Structure 1
Amino acid sequence: MFTTLSKLLAYRAAVAGEETALTWTGTRVTWAALDRRVTAVAAALRRVTEPGQRAAILVPPSPDYVVAFLGVLRAGLVAIPVGPDRRAGVLADAEPSIVLATAETVAPVRRFLSTLETCGHRVLAVDAVPDAAAVPDAPVLADDVAYLQYPGGVMVTHANVLANARQAAQVLGDDAVVTWLPPSDPLGLLLGVAVPVVTGVPAVVHDRRHLLADPPSGFAVALADAADPDLDRLREVFALRVCYVRAEATALVACGHPAGQLVAIVDPDGRRVPPGETGEIWVSGPNVARGYRNRPEQSARVFCALLAGDAEPRWWLRTGDLGVLDESGRLSVTGRDLVAGLDPQDVEATAGQAHPAIRPSGVAAFAVPGEHPVVVLALADGVVPPRGEVERAVRHAVVTRHGLTLRRVVVLPAGEPPRSRAQCRDRYLDGLLTADGLR
């Protein structure tokens, strides 16, 4: 039984070495070639790191990114897939021991790293390391963290990613895996890396701009996040299956009907609602991640919900999104809590760390009509900072990390905001949420 992507990759290389593993904008890579380069990167990492340390991947979207990611896993490190727009915030939060780049990007990556408050990061060019002899897989367990998914620093285990890849395979069937998403994106990483390794079906990765300008032919099915900005155009290119994606569930939750996991629609009191009624989407299954790195209170609130009256008690992930399940069990998402295009949990994480007086689990970010962003937060017990200090700290942190100017910051006295983000927003709009507390 294979418990990691690295072990599965070695198996693919042994039994189907010269078959195609992935095609990236016309560049074909075989399983044997991919495994050889992954081994080379893992060997180089082993010489300068210890298992369990973190490695940030600042490689441009390319086959080298796939090599870097799988090489980090083979070395027993925790991968940090980094997108181009969140590099400073991600590295500050994740504290990597080493940064992966390419020979062409080492210099600009070093210049970028020199602008950070921390310094001394090692930088490894993944396309410049020589081939190496076989590297035995690090002694990692299925429940060990494989990578951190941002925003939020979601701790995805080896078991999580294998489970979600198998769930995605149920949706895809025997079709080739097609994606236009970068591997720093949760769904892009699942479709472009994990699903091919788990199933042996090759991935076809396109540059988004080229794909929309010159659509390929011969692909019947593709999966897309319901929040994709090019959704209408992509429908014209593919027989598209629109999916509900959450990083906290590794990536894929459902493309209509959930596969291999449970979905419940829940009211504000934590009780399941009848089919056809709207409520918060809760998810439970082997793909649900462990929690947020270094945020135990927020992790407990989001990942460890209990469904009232559940005959078989289990942990549920509270997504904060609204949806409906019909009589057949098909999921429709009716509301996603985006704040000016950002994941609210990302904004909440930033606000929660902006000042030591803030209770980390007592932050809610949401948008009110007109897409105006609001943050509501509670102070820790026994703390009374100078008036205005916490608000200024939160505004500065959010605009620095996200470029987002908040319309309002409501600082509550010691205690927690309402149980859900939706309830907090409703009370704010009703004028029941003030600095004097909840009315």
Structure 2
Amino acid sequence: MTLSELLAHRAATAGGETALTWPAATLTWGQLDRRVTAAAAALRRVTEPGQRSAILVPPSPEYVVAFLGALRAGLVAIPLGPDGRTRVLADAEPSIVLATSASVRAIRHFLATSDTCGHRVLAVDAAPDAPGCTGDPVAPSDVAYLQYPGGVMVTHANVVANARQAAQVPAASTVVSPLPPSDPLGLVLGVAVPIVTGRPVTIDESAPGALPGCYVVAEATALVPCGHPAGQEVAIVGRDGRRVPAGDAGEIWVSGPNVARGYWRRPEESARVFCARITGDDEPRWWLRTGDQGFLTPSGELCVTGRDLVAGYRPADLEATAEQAHPAIRPHASAAFAVRGDQAVLVLELADGVVPPRGDSPKIHEVERAVRHAVSARHGLTLRRVVVRPSSAGDGLW
């Protein structure tokens, strides 16, 4: 079943029970289902199933209504936080933007000033009730939403599977989430887990960290539990593509129904990251390469030892894209790293036989422009700086 179908079931069997509690609002399952149906009906009048809808709503019950309304209307939701909205809108090209009555004017102004005008804007809290309206049918394998910054395509089956896996970690009868629903973990904890399990959720910004012993991998929908992973297979793989012995560190690979379909409009990168195979394994299985480091204990418990992300992307992905951007760049001699939190810098080395950069060489600017364009086109990322270093082999000619 999908989240929309499960929500309808909760409303039918426990409509008067509390579903969602925010600091200033509480909704029962019946109230939430009614508002989601109203939003879906309004969306169906102006969109077609399969189109994309961006959610530009502050963290609130309306955000949850907008997200679930989009799913019930058969749309692909795009949960957005406060950062990177212009880039995401340009990449995802939504047909409609969801807002609230109080924010419609500001959203339209933002869209007009960020060269993304032309989108229809719908206030989900102004949608009239639509009793009897049913959702558009979707398949579990259909994409439910896109998670940025990477544009990860999460299916209806993925989010339900990850919610069931997450539900095996906490034992409390009420779910407490400290994260907004625009966050991958906040979406699973604050929306999916309550619907799947029937447990009410409380959003409290002062709550302690959620689900200790887990870590977040957007490509795995959200959660990869540490310890003994529930409902997922985890392998530790060395540089040769083979499993390493228990206790040895390597890259964490994940397989399971929660692993997303791939990256939006990035088929080559999707194939490399989501369709890995372990050398020497007899069982044919696709694996997700997380890019994170860890090891398995002799009893099979997962321990994460390090994460290796730059602005939300794997450094190796950015480096590979940059090295293919121009023939003057030396292969396997680049480095991507983060500065000021979430901004990316790429340091590149020129290939053998290429004259070292001096001054404002037009060729150096050509290399920089090619790298910036390639990274933006493939990953949707604007680099803070591109540094071009001379070849370690000495002088040469352009």
- C-alpha distance 368-197 of structure 1, shift in aligned 2 (>3 A): closer
Distance 1:46 1:180 in 2: 32
Provide the rounded CA distance (Å) in 2 between the counterparts of 1:84 and 1:311: 45
Structure 2 gap segments, 5+ residues each: 352-361
Counterpart contact for 2:319–2:335, Cα < 8 Å: no
Q: Which residue of 1 aligns with 2:260?
A: 289
2:149 to 148, 151, 157: 151
* Alignment-mate amino acid for residue 374 of structure 1: L
Give the corresponding residue for 1:44: 42
Q: Which amino acid in 2 is paired with 1:278?
A: A
Q: 1:305 aligns with which of 258, 261, 276?
A: 276
- How many Å apart are 1:44 and its aligned residue? 0.3
Q: CA RMSD in A?
A: 3.4
Give, as a single letter, the amino acid of the residue that structure 1 aligns with 2:384: T
Aligned residue in 2 for 1:185:
183
Identify which of 37, 52, 55 aligns with 1:54: 52
AA in 2 matched with 1:302: V
1:388 to 2:357 alignment: no
Alignment partners' CA distance in 1, 2:350 and 2:269:
13
Contact 2:315–2:337 (CA<8 Å) still a contact in 1? no
Report the counterpart of residue 261 of structure 1 in structure 2: 232
Q: Which secondary structure state, in structure 1, belongs to the residue aligned with residue 295 of structure 2?
A: strand
Distance (whole Å) between structure 2 residues aligned to residue 30 and residue 107 of structure 1: 30
- Report if aligned partners of 1:190, 1:251 keep a CA contact under 8 Å in 2: yes
Distance across 1 between alignment mates of 2:320 and 2:93 = 19
Which region of structure 1 is more displaced relative to structure 2, 369-378 or 294-303? 369-378
TM-score under structure 1 normalisation?
Answer: 0.78
CA shift, 1:132, in A, is 1.0
Letter in 1 for 2:260: A
| Aligned-pair CA distance for 1:376 | 5.8
Distance 1:403 1:143, change over 3 A: closer
- Cα distance in 2 for partners of 1:350, 1:27 equals 46
Establish whether residue 78 from structure 1 lines up as the match of residue 57 from structure 2: no
* 1:374 alignment partner, one of 346, 354, 357: 346
Over residues 366-421 of structure 1, what are the superposed CA-to-partner deviations in whole Å (9 max), with x where a residue is unaligned? 33999984366999xxxxx96532413545877xx867533635899xxxxxxxxx
| Bigger mean CA deviation after superposition, 401-410 or 369-378 | 369-378
SS in 2 for 1:48: coil
Contact kept? 1:179, 1:192, Cα under 8 Å: yes
Q: Is the 8 A contact 1:375 1:408 kept in 2?
A: yes
TM-aligned CA distance change 1:40 to 1:350, over 3 Å = farther
Residues 347 and 64 of structure 1: CA distance in aligned 2, closer, same or farther (over 3 Å): farther
Residue of structure 2 in register with 1:32 after alignment = 30
Structure 1 distance, partners of 2:315, 2:106, is 26
User: Quick one: which amino acid aligns to residue 243 of structure 2?
Assistant: R
How far did 1:107 drift? Answer: 1.0
Structure 2 letter corresponding to 1:338: L
Deviations 1:52-71 (A, max 9, x none): 00000000000000000000
Q: Is the 8 A contact 2:97 2:122 kept in 1?
A: yes
Contact 1:149 1:156 (C-alpha < 8 Å) held by counterparts? yes
Structure 1: how far apart are the matches of 2:326 and 2:118?
A: 31
- Matched position secondary structure for 1:282: strand
2:358 aligns with none
Letter in 2 for 1:334: T
- On the 8 A contact 2:251/2:294 being kept in 1, the answer is yes
Of residues 124, 137, 140 in structure 2, which corresponds to 1:139?
A: 137
Partner of 2:356: none
CA distance in 1: counterparts of 2:9 and 2:173, whole angstroms: 21
1:130 and 1:120 map into 2 onto residues whose CA distance is: 24
Following superposition, the deviation at residue 311 of structure 1 comes to: 2.1
Could you report, residue by residue, the CA deviation over 1:286-312 in whole angstroms, capped at 9, with x for unpaired residues?
000000011000000000000011121
Normalised TM-score (structure 2): 0.85
Count of residues in correspondence between the two structures: 376
1:152/1:349 contact within 8 Å kept: no
Matched, 1:69 2:67: yes
The 3 A distance-change label for structure 1 pair 365 and 96 is farther
Q: Secondary structure at the match of 2:48?
A: coil
Partner-residue secondary structure (3-state), 1:194: helix
Cα 1:349–1:407 change in 2 (3 A) is: closer
Percent of matched pairs sharing the same residue: 64
Q: Which moved more, 1:343-352 or 1:100-109?
A: 343-352
Conserved 8 A contact 1:143-1:157:
yes
Question: What is the identity, as a one-letter code, of the residue corresponding to 1:10?
Answer: A
CA distance change for structure 1 residues 365 and 126 in 2, over 3 Å: closer, same or farther? farther
In structure 2, C-alpha distance between the alignment counterparts of 1:146 and 1:28, rounded to whole Å: 25
- Deviations, residues 225-245 of structure 1 (Å, cap 9, x unaligned): xxxxxxxxxxxxxxxx13111
Report if the CA contact (8 A) 1:345-1:365 is conserved.
Answer: no
Residues 35 and 280 of structure 1: CA distance in aligned 2, closer, same or farther (over 3 Å): same
Of 206, 216, 223, which residue of structure 1 is paired with 2:210?
A: 223
- Take 1:333 and 1:411, find their aligned partners in 2: how far apart are those partners? 37
What aligned pairs does 1:196-275 form with structure 2 within 5 A after superposition? Answer: 196-206=194-204, 208=205, 211=206, 223-224=210-211, 241-275=212-246
Q: Distance in 2 between matches of 1:377 and 1:176?
A: 54
